[in-house]
Amino acid sequence: METCLKKSIEQYKQIIEHAGQLDQLLLKSDPEKLHRYTERLQELQDEAGLNDRIFLEIFPHTSTYWQNHPLFLERTRLLEKIVELNHLLLPRIRGMMAVTANEITQIKSGRVAVSGYHQAPVKHKQFARGVG
């Protein structure tokens, strides 16, 4: 049980550390780096989820010893930190997504406007010179 708790704590620390990189990535707006970031975050979450399933299977829910154990309390604190990070970062991500969606819409409507614009061919007027 203690080994499982230690592993869980380490995994949550890695998730929090990784989440700390998001601010810089959002400022740089590099789609490739953001994609790699999200893939790595998904890997970390999947690993933690697998360990959590094992943890929940062996965790004695009625045991006050484990519920008051320092490792369990540390794990709980880290989970709360992750939830807090989600609440802080999610609105920023949604805001950036809205701005990006708006920019894409403007680009698309600009293309429509440009493709709908046709310049009339220039007609060369010929003037008759009169004798005079």
The per-residue pLDDT for 71 is: 93
**Three-point CA angle 79, 4, 53, nearest 5°:** 70
List phi, psi (to 5°) of 26: -70, -35
**Report field, pTM of the whole predicted structure over 0.85:** no
Return the amino acid letter for 123. K
Regions of the chain short of the pLDDT cut 70: 62, 93, 97, 111-132
Report the candidate in 83, 90, 96 with the shortest Cα–Cα distance to residue 29.
96
Task: Return the residue matching tokens 């989600």.
Answer: 86
The per-residue pLDDT for 90 is: 73
CA-to-CA distance for 21 and 17, rounded, in angstroms?
7
The per-residue pLDDT for 17 is: 94
- Residue ranges of domains in the chain: 2-89
Dump pLDDT digits (tens) for 4-36: 899 999 999 999 999 888 878 877 877 788 888
The per-residue pLDDT for 125 is: 58
Cα 23 to chain center, whole Å? Answer: 10
The per-residue pLDDT for 73 is: 94
